[in-house]
Amino acid sequence: MKDDVHGVAVTHPEKLLWPAPPLTKRDLALYFEAQAAWMLPHVANRPCSILRAPDGVEGERFFQRHKMKGASAHIVEVQVAGEAKPYIAFNTVEALIAAAQIGAIELHPWNCRPGEPEAPGRLVFDLDPGPDVAFARVVDAAKEVRERLEAVGLAAFCKTSGGKGLHVVTPLKDVRARPGWDEAKAFTRELCVQMAADSPDRYVVNMAKTLRVGRVFLDYLRNDRTATAVAPLSPRARAGAPVSMPLTWAQVRAGLDPMRFTLKTAPALLGKSKAWADYAASERPLAPAVKKLCKSSR
Ligand code: ATP
Ligand code: MN
């Protein structure tokens, strides 16, 4: 059996990708079609890795960043300086449906500006609870990251990861002589190091798993040239079909339950929400923030 979504063929549309709630390949294609206008500004024209689960989330899953033979022409290739093979990119609603067609459930774009792999376009703070850490502690961490960003003149937006934690995202403005990836990474590292130094019992920047017990891990390593983070509204190949849900800061409070936001529930909830409405208007240059943060560390 074959379906057509937005003019793109979807074969085996009844194939179950998530067993519970039961969600099919057609459901994924229709979700991408409906959310494309919201998602594409955050995804398009950047190298974008995908996590594929062609036999559903309980089957074999694999990451892919280069084009496969026979893939849809809607999935385009972008050449990145110094990289032998071009990366794939998803620039249109048709490309997102072509992603669903190959069982690409998760989209993980670079955090560069669209069309400019060398220019940081956003900062991402990936906040992960250690074992036995209540989600409310991750909420506290997100709010503190926001305070620290705003204190140096940057904006902050929060989303669930669709997994265990939260992501705080900062849109950056393009300016001449803009800082590059080294500066973006150094800035996010410094902000996280300062935060962990102020509350060593609550936060940790070190990768070592043993140090994460009882603490929230502040991961700044998404902020590098080839690093990726799951896109806002991307579904996750995890039980229950959660998505990475853009939130208003009012939603980032005790009692927040990331599993409320699924492929089934997210579209209606987002329709009623103002989450990230001022994202594009909130781009700020990084350089002045770097100066301010360095001053506060002395
Ligand atoms: P959680 O809140 O559960 O930690 P997450 O999205 O923050 O969810 P992961 O799914 O563990 O975290 O992924 C961490 C990061 O590493 C993601 O941002 C993703 O883009 C990247 N990533 C994960 N696995 C791979 C992989 N196999 N290849 C390339 N990048 C990957
Ligand atoms: Mn995480």
pLDDT in tens, 232-249: 999 999 999 999 999 999
pLDDT of residue 276: 98
Looking at residue 177, the DSSP 8-state letter turns out to be T
Residue type, 54: P
Question: Is the C-beta atom of 126 inside 6 A of ligand 1?
Answer: yes
* E strands, the chain, in order: 2-5, 8-11, 16-18, 23-24, 48-52, 62-64, 76-78, 87-89, 104-109, 112-113, 116-120, 122-129, 157-160, 166-171, 203-204, 216-219, 246-247
Q: Per-residue pLDDT for 298 more than 60?
A: no
- Neighbour tally for 103: CB within 10 Å: 24
Res. 1 pLDDT band, cuts 50 70 90: low
pLDDT tens readout for residues 113-144: 999 999 999 999 999 999 999 999 999 999 99
3-state secondary structure of 279: coil
Q: Per-residue pLDDT for 172 more than 60?
A: yes
The answer to whether 99 touches 32, Cβ cutoff 8 Å, is: yes
**Which ligand has an atom closest to residue 228 CA?**
1
3-state secondary structure of 153: coil
Residues with CB under 5 A from ligand 2 (ion): 126, 128, 161, 165
| 219 CA closest ligand 1 atom index | 7
Cα 163 to averaged position of ligand 1 atoms, centre (Å)? 9
Residue 250 makes CB contacts below 8 A (sequence gap 6+) with none
The pick from 138, 228, 259 for probing ligand 1's pocket by mutation, whose C-beta has the most ligand atoms within 8 angstroms, reads 228
Report the chain's mean pLDDT, rounded to a whole number.
Answer: 95
Res. 284 pLDDT band, cuts 50 70 90: very high
Res. 207 pLDDT band, cuts 50 70 90: confident
Question: Is the C-beta atom of 222 inside 6 A of ligand 1?
Answer: yes
Nearest CA to 25 out of 34, 36, 12, 38 is that of 12
Q: Find the radius of gyration of the CA atoms of the chain.
A: 19
Q: Per-residue pLDDT for 218 more than 90?
A: yes
Cα 17 to averaged position of ligand 2 atoms, centre (Å)? 23
3-state secondary structure of 45: coil
- Neighbour tally for 91: CB within 10 Å: 19
Looking at residue 262, the DSSP 8-state letter turns out to be B
The answer to whether 15 touches 2, Cβ cutoff 8 Å, is: no
pTM of the model: 0.96
How far is 64 from 52, CA to CA, in rounded Å?
Answer: 7
* Residue tagged 């599993």 (tokens): 259
Average pLDDT over residues 67-72: 89
How far is 142 from 166, CA to CA, in rounded Å?
Answer: 7
The answer to whether 166 touches 288, Cβ cutoff 8 Å, is: no
Q: Which two tokens stand for residue 160?
A: 């669930």
Question: Is the C-beta atom of 289 inside 6 A of ligand 1?
Answer: no
